[in-house]
């Protein structure tokens, strides 16, 4: 059984649930980690590193949305509120109480989780459209009212909390450059994915999936759906708080504008394009939603440098100037096309490609 020409076969349950189930997969993961930790930092410029940080922030932000929508069947359209709670909790604890960043990072996650549970309480009685309205209310109550009108006024700082250089550090490691943020982002993503993956393989994860598939049947089988729904909201809010506290490292000042309603919709789009109910889908969706707009912007910029294309398409400079609207239009178009032609997302397509090569030459 050492050489497996068609598929992967195991004799024991523990082998079947191993993260990496063959030497070939081990080799791929070693190469991947080598690229992430050595090749990209050594050979990529600061621009690419900054894009990688945005991808990582999107992954961290969308993990909670994936947990709620993809694995527990609870709709959320206000997840940016919990990112804001985590970011402001971490910032206030560092600036006001001078606590170390690792502790404020964890407390920001806890605060985001508890705040998410508060708005997850209606899920015990409502679902569907009514739960959508509840989570939207979380966005507007938290960011537009609570943070903007009250939290932002603490210390007389006005709307934004300035973060002096050297504030964010882990022991002797001062996080002051994009490369430092990149390494922190990789560590946090690995930790969060490890936690989420193991939760999904446990009794808790099976209860979440049962609630997603049929909550009435799950309750009939003895699953306490209220408790597990609230636990899902807490874990999702915890991931959101971690993401918000992480994003503080890339900001000179924390402002409510960083956590607007559009970002909540963007995160839902990430998992719809990447694949609902798949951790791989969160990663693929974040890559797609970050790299495609950047590539589109670069393409428009290159075309504007050529007089021939400018004469042929005189609206190109205006597109570059108003690229934010172009990005939003591309986002809506991508959602519509994926829902029509690829409703299972990029993760399903990746699963098909991977199985084709794993089962070759008997992939039929």
The predicted structure's pLDDT at residue 44: 85
* Alpha carbon distance, N-terminus to C-terminus of the chain: 22
- The SS3 assignment for 253 reads strand
For tokens 């909201």, the residue is 233
By C-alpha distance, which of 178, 152, 145 is closest to 48? 178
By C-alpha distance, which of 265, 266, 286 is closest to 193? 286
Asked if 348 and 341 touch (Cβ cutoff 8 Å), the reply is no
By C-alpha distance, which of 106, 62, 355 is closest to 238? 106
Class in CATH terms, 20-359: mainly alpha
Asked if 56 and 64 touch (Cβ cutoff 8 Å), the reply is no
By C-alpha distance, which of 240, 215, 237, 239 is closest to 228? 215
What are the backbone angles phi and psi of residue 258, rounded to the nearest 5°? -75, -10
Angle at 52 between CA 49 and CA 55, to 5 degrees: 160
- The SS3 assignment for 210 reads helix
Q: What is the pLDDT of residues 88-132, one digit of tens each?
A: 999 999 988 889 999 999 999 999 999 999 999 988 788 888 888
pTM of the model: 0.91
Q: What is the pLDDT of residues 48-94, one digit of tens each?
A: 999 999 999 999 999 999 999 999 999 889 999 999 999 999 999 99
Overall average pLDDT of the 212-229 stretch: 92
Domains of the chain, residue spans: 20-359
DSSP, res 358: H
Overall average pLDDT of the 236-256 stretch: 92
Residues 6+ positions from 157 with CB-CB distance below 8 Å: none
CA 121, 124, 125, 131 dihedral sign is positive
């Amino acid at each position: 059984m050492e050489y497996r020409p068609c598929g992967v076969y195991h004799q024991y349950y523990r082998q079947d649930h191993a993260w990496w189930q063959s030497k070939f997969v081990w080799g791929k993961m070693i190469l991947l980690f080598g690229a992430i930790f050595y090749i990209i930092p050594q050979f990529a410029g600061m621009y690419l590193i900054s894009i990688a940080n945005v991808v990582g922030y999107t992954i961290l932000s969308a993990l909670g949305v994936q947990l709620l929508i993809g694995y527990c069947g609870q709709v959320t359209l206000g997840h940016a509120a919990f990112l804001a709670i985590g970011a402001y909790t971490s910032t206030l604890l560092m600036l006001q109480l001078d606590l170390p960043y690792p502790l404020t990072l964890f407390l920001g996650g806890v605060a985001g989780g508890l705040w998410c549970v508060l708005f997850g309480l209606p899920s015990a009685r409502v679902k569907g459209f009514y739960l959508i309205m509840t989570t939207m209310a979380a966005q507007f109550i938290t960011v537009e009212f609570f943070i903007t009108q009250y939290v932002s006024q603490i210390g007389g700082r006005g709307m934004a909390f300035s973060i002096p250089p050297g504030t964010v550090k882990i022991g002797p490691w001062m996080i002051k450059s994009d490369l430092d943020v990149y390494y922190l982002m990789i560590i946090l993503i690995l930790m969060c994915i490890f936690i989420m993956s193991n939760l999904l393989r446990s009794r808790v994860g099976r209860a979440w999936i049962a609630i997603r598939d049929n909550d009435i049947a799950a309750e009939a089988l003895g699953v306490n759906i209220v408790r597990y729904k609230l636990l899902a909201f807490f874990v999702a809010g915890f991931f959101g708080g971690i993401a918000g506290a992480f994003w503080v490292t890339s900001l000179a000042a924390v402002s409510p504008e960083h956590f607007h309603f559009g970002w909540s919709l963007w995160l839902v789009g990430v998992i719809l394009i990447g694949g609902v109910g798949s951790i791989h889908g969160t990663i693929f969706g974040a890559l797609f939603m970050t790299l495609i707009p950047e590539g589109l912007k670069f393409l428009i910029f290159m075309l504007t440098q050529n007089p021939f294309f400018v004469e042929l398409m005189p609206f190109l400079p205006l597109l570059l100037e108003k690229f934010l609207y172009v990005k939003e239009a591309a986002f809506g178009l991508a959602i519509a096309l994926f829902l029509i032609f690829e409703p299972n997302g990029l993760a399903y397509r990746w699963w098909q490609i991977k199985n084709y090569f794993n089962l070759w030459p008997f992939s039929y």
